[in-house]
Structure 1
């Protein structure tokens, strides 16, 4: 069925306001013109869309069914047309990123991405690895783990093995992994990370329970370590800036492989042009997908 756009617009505005007069003000036409457009639409559909009462309008069942469909359609059309507002097409891209990856790798490269892809209207949201792709309206989420998230497509991005990092002053008194027994070991909310590192370093019988403050992000761990509060297990590749500045050093070469970063999206989310461009850019910047983690050194 072919229906006039002006009539559909007149109905949608009248239904929102429940007034032909206010709809006319919104659409910059007279009340009579709006009323005529709606009557024309009703005639074409063969059903009444309003009950006209002395004190206003009331939607019929048919009008109530039609309104949300039109509102959504006009809203989507308006959003799309807004992307041409500056004379150049802009496509939104919303990404949720673990804060450590965002600050340690992504943010410093975003200017280059935007130069190469000026049509992408990027929105970046950080999180601590807890994310709801659908609920937060995300196109992508970059997160840390094993790649197993229900209903999600996951592409490996970056392997980030953990290694102890601390101030040069603390490192000067460390000669072997067992020396850590006398130091404050800063911990993350993942309880097994230090034990995984000790296993990789060949320390199978750690003396006693682990003690030390617990942090909910690697950024907080790194900040505490740089203040000399203790020794943190960190992905060294994401804290190279602190190493270059002399705030943190690696006292040992041993690394623990506990997971990696992944680019994830819902299986039901068909990639847009902006999503594909961002994915390809990441692949180029990071190089080939990382191989499987090696077994712990023993």
Structure 2
């Protein structure tokens, strides 16, 4: 009979303290350090682990002169308990302030997060105080399932396999640069003398030059996986970025950046996406409704 089968048979009889003592000792491979973490004596941890071993009928540790080593059964048990305690902790976190707070995990493409979403989050907190929003950023490459996300806000054409995508607003790209570089630019042809910063999407400059009616020069600038990083480089005088002006309004107002030409090229949309297999929770529905209202309030020209 396997250890996990034995664990399932005796799950109602296994003492929680013993399971917690084993999990802590397994992480530290030391009873003393586990005891310090749990605020009990070293003897108490050792006793609880021995009690668990008797209940399961197997050894979980090799006791060594200097510390511990997990047995095969101990190694099999560790991930099961770690997952269990993580799940319990996640549920308890929802009641941290004495009230239930739904946890909502979203992944957001970095430029959208810093240029549009960030200064609206206080409004979301006021509108939905019962939702604990967890935000992670990415460079538009995201795996919703693997990252356990409820939503992902990303840029593109909306065609992601197994995904429901709801459009937020269109995106448009235009050159942005430092004032010192802008002073040298009278027409799009002058860009041939500048370093043109590029994103990982290789055809953006080509499309912009086609819209401008000017020939595309040889592209010799560095390539960035983040528009925010690329525009930061442009603001520091390292070249001209092709990026969404609406995502950098503060830098433009402060004149850290300049938009030298009015020409812009459509490049896609921002989308709110979730897995088709993911049933929409109340917290997801509240966030979606809030986000769509905010997006409808203004229609910026932007891109990742």
TMscore range, shorter length: 0.7 to 0.9
Aligned to 1:247: 256
The answer to whether the 8 Å contact 2:205/2:216 transfers is no
Greater Rg by CA: 1
**Counterparts of residues 37-186 of structure 1 (less than 5 Å):** 56-58=54-56, 79-80=90-91, 82-186=93-197
**Counterparts of residues 210-225 of structure 1 (less than 5 Å):** 210-225=219-234
Structure 2: distance between partners of 1:282 and 1:10: 47
The answer to whether the 8 Å contact 1:215/1:221 transfers is yes
How far 1:190 sits from its partner (Å)? 1.2
Deviations 1:186-212 (A, max 9, x none): 111111110010111122x434x3111
The answer to whether the 8 Å contact 2:195/2:219 transfers is no
The root-mean-square deviation of aligned C-alpha atoms, in Å, is 3.3
Structure 1: distance between partners of 2:255 and 2:200: 27
The answer to whether the 8 Å contact 1:160/1:236 transfers is no
How far 1:15 sits from its partner (Å)? 9.9
Alignment of 1:226 onto 2:224? no
Deviations 1:134-172 (A, max 9, x none): 111111111111111111111111222100011222222
Aligned to 1:36: none
For residue 174 of structure 2, give the secondary structure of its aligned residue in structure 1: strand
How far 1:270 sits from its partner (Å)? 0.7
How far 1:57 sits from its partner (Å)? 3.2
How many correspondences in the alignment?
244
Aligned to 1:256: 265
Q: Which runs of 5+ in 1 are unaligned?
A: 1-6, 20-54, 60-67, 294-298
Structure 2: distance between partners of 1:217 and 1:72: 33
Alignment of 1:277 onto 2:286? yes
